[in-house]
């Protein structure tokens, strides 16, 4: 049983390292900022997640204790990586106005909320749910 557990822990750590390596290479090699965001937010997140899963399994299976540190790190990582990537992408789209033409249509009467103002109601006023400033 211990050998199988050690092999599983080793496999998680190696897979995590491979994902982290692929994400790092993608960060360096991809051509522009919006495509470079995929490396750290997707592959590297899986890489760190694999290493953390291996660490959790080690502490639970080998030492018999439950380590909450890895769970907290995983939750923090899986919450902050997509949010920070979203903010970086949004700021990049605001800085580079020419990229707006490449955005797909929304399929609604209103455009992208990032670029268009608050839609007006039928009487010419802003919608009730919109914050006023």
Determine the 3-state secondary structure of 127 from DSSP. coil
pLDDT digits (tens, 9 = 90+) for 90-124: 888 888 878 777 778 878 777 776 666 666 666 65
Report pTM.
Answer: 0.69
Q: What is the structure's pLDDT at 127?
A: 52
Q: Which two tokens stand for residue 32?
A: 């522009």
Q: What is the structure's pLDDT at 132?
A: 45
Average pLDDT over residues 20-29: 89
The rounded distance, in Å, linking the Cα atoms of 42 and 47 is 9
Alpha-carbon distance values, 3 to 13, 17, 58, 67, 79 (Å): 15, 21, 12, 21, 34
The rounded distance, in Å, linking the Cα atoms of 133 and 130 is 10
Q: What is the structure's pLDDT at 1?
A: 61
- What does the DSSP assignment read for 42-110? IIHHHHHHHHHHHHHHHHHHTS----HHHHHHHHHHHHHHHHHHHHHHHHHHHH-GGGGGGSPP-SSSS
Average pLDDT, the chain: 82
pLDDT digits (tens, 9 = 90+) for 52-96: 999 999 999 888 888 888 989 988 988 888 888 888 888 888 888
């Amino acid at each position: 049983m211990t050998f199988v557990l050690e092999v599983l822990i080793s496999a998680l750590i190696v897979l995590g390292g491979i994902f982290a390596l692929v994400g790092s290479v993608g960060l360096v090699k991809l051509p522009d900022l919006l495509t470079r965001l995929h490396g750290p937010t997707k592959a590297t997140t899986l890489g760190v997640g694999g290493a953390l899963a291996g660490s959790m399994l080690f502490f639970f299976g080998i030492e018999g204790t439950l380590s909450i540190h890895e769970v907290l790190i995983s939750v923090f990582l899986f919450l902050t990586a997509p949010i920070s990537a979203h903010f970086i992408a949004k700021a990049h789209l605001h800085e580079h106005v020419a990229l707006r033409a490449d955005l797909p249509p929304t399929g609604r009467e209103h455009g992208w909320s990032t670029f268009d103002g608050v839609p007006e109601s039928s009487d010419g006023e802003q919608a009730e749910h919109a914050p006023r400033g």
